[in-house]
Amino acid sequence: MKLAHLIGQIVEYFGVSDRVMVLRKVINLATLLQNKKIVDVNLQIEDTFIENIPVRIARPLNDNTSLPVIVYFHGGGFYMGSVDTYNTLTSMLSRSAHVVIISVNYRLAPEHPFPAGLEDCYTVAKYILEDKYSAKLHIDPTRVAVAGDSAGGSLAAIVTMRLITHPVSKYSPRLQILIYPSLQFFDMMLPSYMQKHFIFLHYTSCHKLSVYLNDTIDQSLYLNKHTSIEQKRQYRKYVDWSLIPSKYRTIYSKPSTDDHDGDLNLIEKGKKVLDPEISPLLVDDEQLAKLPTTYIITVGHDRLRDEGFIYAGRVKRVGVDIVHKHYENTFHGSITFLYGSLGLHIARQMVDDMVQYIKKTL
């Protein structure tokens, strides 16, 4: 996958194509490896639209009772991925947990920059919580979960917060499921960003943000030059290093740039990434305390590892019922490696653990 990223950079440099298109094509190859007869066994699959937004609905075969529902937002850095590339995971969840999965094919950057994809996700989740549609969809609006991984985990956290703080009906999400979510772009020098990891899909946060925001965010983001000293003082309380396990803080023990001013040009652009609708960790405890029951997964080989620990720690500290499952010896994106020659035992374990919790909680 590093090779795919390199090829993308080369074709972009020569004006042949751009790296987004190359990475999408590589990711989409994963759909060719699926044996849909195995993946979708004992499920009813329907590709349809909710409020003009394409979705894929998976439900246990021959069961039209009012089942719990999980609204799922796929990962892919806000510019890759689809309901097809995540079909293996969503089908397994539906079959194993005996729930309806509504997987959202939200709009992707750069064709549709922020907040287009977010609004699609919110619109579908809002629709699901409106009781007038529950009979049509054969779902129980009192048993709704919002879930996602990576960029989709970010979208799930943001949508859940919106629905909790500004209810759209008498129902709210009962559960949020965040799988190695992207939660903040304030501190890009957390230990997990500084340490070396095995990375299956190589991408940079500055490129991801440039595509998502339709702006140019350069590499100095990784030196925290996108924030002023005043902003560092304002936002530091949200990104509390003390909530990162001490074993990860042996070399990088505390923030090192909080007394350093950033680059004026990047600071102006950086204001966007501090918006809680891009960095959902950057909210007060009072807001976090309103969250529903939360299930969060982090993995050891992941730049997003530490912000997951911080989010889990803050949520637990304000009294929200939370389960934090950490899998040390695997990498970002691994939960989708469920079948075939690339199948991983740890991926099945992660899904099995999640399914048991869903059955008990939702």
Q: Which two tokens stand for residue 330?
A: 């695997």
Q: Which long-range contacts (CB under 8 A, 24 or more apart) does 121-126 make?
A: 121/71, 121/73, 121/155, 121/156, 121/159, 122/159, 122/162, 122/163, 123/50, 123/51, 123/53, 124/50, 124/51, 124/53, 124/55, 124/71, 125/71, 125/159, 125/163, 125/173, 126/163, 126/168
Radius of gyration of the chain (CA): 20
Q: Which two tokens stand for residue 215?
A: 């702006």
Measured in whole angstroms, how far is the alpha carbon of residue 341 from the centre of its chain? 26
Q: Count the alpha carbons within 13 Å of 129 in the hemisphere toward its beta carbon.
A: 25
* Active-site choice (91, 94, 150, 182): 150
- Is residue 302 among the annotated active site residues? yes
Q: Rounded distance, CA 30 to CA 26, Å?
A: 7
Place of tokens 């940079």: 204
Q: Rounded distance, CA 74 to CA 80, Å?
A: 9
Q: Which two tokens stand for residue 226?
A: 């996108």
- Residues with Cβ < 8 Å from 111, sequence gap 6 or more? none
* Active-site choice (94, 302, 306, 334): 302
Partnered with residue 297 across adjacent β-strands are: 179, 325
Hey, which bits of the chain come out as E strands? Answer: 43-50, 53-60, 67-73, 100-104, 139-149, 175-179, 293-301, 322-331
- Is residue 150 among the annotated active site residues? yes
Look up residue 83 and give its DSSP letter.
Answer: T
Catalytic positions are 150, 302, 332
